[in-house]
Structure 1
Amino acid sequence: MKALVLSGGAGTRLRPITHTYAKQLVPVANKPVLFYGLEAIAEAGISEVGIVVGDTAPEIRRAVGDGSAFGLDVTYIQQSAPLGLAHAVLIAREFLGDEDFVMYLGDNFIVGGIADLVDEFRGSRPDAQILLTKVADPTAFGVAELDISGKVVALEEKPAAPRSDLALVGVFLFTSAVHEAVRGIELSARGELEITDALQWLIDHGRDVRSTTISGYWKDTGNVIDMLEVNRAVLEGIGGRVEGSVDEASEIIGQVTIEAGAEIRGSRIVGPVVIGANTRIAGSYVGPSTSIASDCRIESSEIEFSIVLTGATIQGVRRIESSLIGRNVEVTPATGVPAAHRLVLGDHSKVRISS
């Protein structure tokens, strides 16, 4: 069995971060979200992985390499444009051959991995198996309709009038039957080859399409709020360790990870928090559900429920929360009336705010 990981999307909902950064590499608890998917694939006993890449291919290649760090053998498949999930299957035909495969969206996050799902599929081998979960706003997802017996009868991509609240999770399992399906569909109104249309083709042609409804934790990390929420969930489960330097004037509370080379001076850190290598925090408060990457500087500031990327500097800022701060960003005070701050800053930005 092989795996096909999709990492070619533009990440429009995470702009401006993704103007200069692959969305699959935005970190969750200081580790790229893509890495969690690759680890889940390896844990499921799959070693051959094709990664579909687009404009951010050089970044993905640098981060993942040949896959050996994950126990994987990685092949890169270039996609000329983001033309849909079914298009990714179409262009990966040579890599996939006639083997069964799992397709995993590189910006999705599933707690607990996919090993049980893969084992279930291997045991029964339907033509396709999909994961579903109930969502509040089905119009933002592919949506499945089930009959009274629980059988999948219809699928639709981002419907204006959803026929159910069951959204497709970004993990799909297929036999080689899907290759005929992706060749048999046409471009949607969005100009893409939709995987929902390919699944509907299988259903319409009498193929066996099964579903598993999950109640566990799943997120599509395509927007800032979901990214912050995933970061919170992961931080709560990683425990704490201190390998950096913490002075006597500092207070560490709860599950806090401080990487080697990091320095904490005269500060209060309330977990769950992770602080990357060679980051310096002085005279500051870092609150729960915050991850701070390596080589950052936080001085005389307060921050919580946020993600800070490599090389960022925050100095003299009274309060930051619910924020995603890009690489090498500088956040410093400006004159004016103090205000609360909610920030999404692109890489190399310089912002002056009231403090």
Structure 2
Amino acid sequence: MDAIVLVGGQGTRLRPLTYTRHKSLVPLCNRPAIAYLLEWLGRSGFSRAILAIGLNNEDLATAYPGGPAHGIEVVQVLEHQRLESGGAIRNAVHEAGIEGRFVVVNGDVFADFDFADALRAHEAAAADLTLALFEVDDPSPFGVAVLDEHRLVTGFIEKPPPGTAPGRLVNAGIWIFEPGLVEEIPPGAVRVEETLFPSLVARRRKVLGYQFKGIWADIGSPARYLALNQTLLEHGFGRPVPPGAVVDSTAHVSGASLGEGCRVGPRASIRDSLLWESVRVDAGATVNGSILADGVQVGEGATVTGAIVGSHAVIEPHATVPQGTSIEPRTRYHASNDS
């Protein structure tokens, strides 16, 4: 079976991080986020991963030009205009010559569960479409599915206001399609979540909601991206400090992931943070609950709390970067910026 991986988005909610790197290539425990997804697809028995690559995503196209990668055969399908999820699925099916049942996966999700069980449920229900669902504490940022007693979807509520959702089962961005459904996707740049899915439900077609346990998250925001990295660290994915990083013996690193080539100076403290490659944290500096992209420099005695720092930015010595600050790539944050 083939899997279409939707990687056409621009990652606007992860800016400034995605100004210099595609969202699917941002690191999780020192590996590209998409690597985990491709490995899961390979373990789950898929024959091909069709990457539906959108406009202006040359770095992703270069990183995965086609051929074997992470245990699965990767095929590129390039989009020459913005297609949204519906157009991307239709284009990928035709360009890659997909025949028969297939699966669609949003490229910004991390999933680790038994897909074979989902497929068995899909077949047992004779479903036209199966949506993987995951229970979350706060469903307000997601699309919520409403199910009947047979686990068939009867409705959708998109991003309900906090406290108003009828349940906590959200669309996990993993969908099993029967082959004929692609011809029912409306023409043009449309989202299947807003067109095909509700249309099938309204016409009483069988749309199964498959709830799974395990690990699931998307990296659609800096907070969720950082939280997922913390979850993966807790579950033993990757190394918090890779061999290529250098941490002074008097420095303190806790709940943090450091990339290759990072340098942490004497008495520096890094907690609950994610550092990309070649980040330098000088003596006595503190980084807490922050994401620092590649090549960032944190000067001596500086404090960075709850911030997102773009590639090759420089935080000057003794500067204080407060909660919620976003620093653009290749800029300098001066001590005089402190409020």
Amino acid at match of 2:59: E
Give the alignment of 1:235-314 within 5 angstroms.
Answer: 235-238=233-236, 256-260=240-244, 262-300=245-283, 301-314=285-298
Give the deviation of 1:193 after TM superposition: 3.0
Contact 1:49 1:75 in 2 (8 A): yes
**CA–CA separation in structure 2 for the residues paired with 1:116 and 1:352:** 54
Out of 200, 220, 226, the position equivalent to 1:202 is 200
| Matched residue type, 1:131 | A
Please say if 1:324 is aligned against 2:324. Answer: no
Question: How far is the alpha carbon of 1:153 from its aligned partner?
Answer: 1.6
Give 1:39's aligned residue.
Answer: 39
Is the 1:181–1:199 Cα contact (8 Å) retained in structure 2?
no
* Contact 1:4–1:49 (Cα < 8 Å) also in 2: yes
| Residue 167 of structure 1: aligned partner | 170
* CA distance 1:46–1:284, change in 2 (3 Å): farther
Q: Please report how far the alpha carbon of residue 58 of structure 1 lies from its aligned counterpart in structure 2 after TM superposition.
A: 1.2
Does the residue aligned with 1:195 lie in a helix, a strand or coil?
coil
Distance (whole Å) between structure 2 residues aligned to residue 113 and residue 316 of structure 1: 47
- Counterpart for residue 251 of structure 1: none
User: How far apart, in 2, do the equivalents of 1:164 and 1:110 lie?
Assistant: 21
User: What is the CA–CA distance in structure 2 between the aligned matches of 1:234 and 1:200, rounded to whole Å?
Assistant: 34
The answer on whether the counterparts of 1:319 and 1:341 sit within 8 Å (CA) in structure 2 is no
Structure 2 Cα separation of the partners of residues 298 and 334 of structure 1: 12
The one-letter code matched in structure 1 to 2:228 is: V
Q: 1:66 to 1:269 in 2, by over 3 A?
A: farther
User: In the TM superposition, what is the alpha-carbon distance from 1:2 to its structure 2 partner?
Assistant: 0.1
Pairing of 1:150-229 with structure 2 (within 5 A): 150-158=151-159, 164-183=167-186, 192-229=190-227
Contact 2:2 2:46 in 1 (8 A): yes
Partner of 1:248: none
> 1:52 maps to what in 2?
52
Instruction: Provide closer, same or farther for how the CA distance between residues 238 and 322 of structure 1 changes in structure 2, counting only shifts above 3 A.
Output: farther
Distance 1:118 1:305, change over 3 A: farther
Q: CA contact under 8 A between 2:313 and 2:330: conserved in structure 1?
A: yes
CA RMSD in angstroms comes to 2.9
TM-score (norm 2): 0.85
Structure 1 stretch displaced more, 64-73 or 172-181: 64-73
d(CA) in 2 for partners of 1:84 and 1:202? 19
Instruction: Give unpaired runs (5+ residues) of structure 1.
Output: 242-255
Distance 1:347 1:266, change over 3 A: same
Q: Secondary structure at the match of 1:55?
A: coil
**Corresponding pairs, count:** 333
Give the superposition deviation at 1:102: 1.4
Q: % of aligned pairs identical?
A: 25
State the partner residue of 1:100.
101
Secondary structure class of the residue paired with 1:258: coil
1-structure distance, mates of 2:330, 2:63: 20
Change (3 A) 1:97 1:68: closer
Quote the residue 1:315 is aligned against: 299
Structure 1 residues 24 and 56 mapped into 2: Cα distance closer, same or farther (>3 Å)?
Answer: farther
Structure 1 residue 113: deviation in Å? Answer: 6.5
1:313-352 equivalences under 5 Å are 313-333=297-317, 340-352=322-334
Give a deviation string over 1:283-333, Cα, whole Å, max 9, x none: 143434333233221112111333322222111244223333222121113
Could you say which residue in structure 2 is the equivalent of 1:244? none
Q: Structure 1 length normalisation: TM-score?
A: 0.82
Separation in structure 1 between the aligned mates of residue 221 and residue 24 of structure 2, nearest angstrom = 12
Query: Letter of the aligned partner of 2:93 in structure 1?
Result: R
Deviates more, 1:286-295 or 1:173-182: 286-295
Superposition deviation, residue 129 in structure 1: 0.9
Inter-partner Cα distance in structure 2 for 1:314 and 1:302: 9
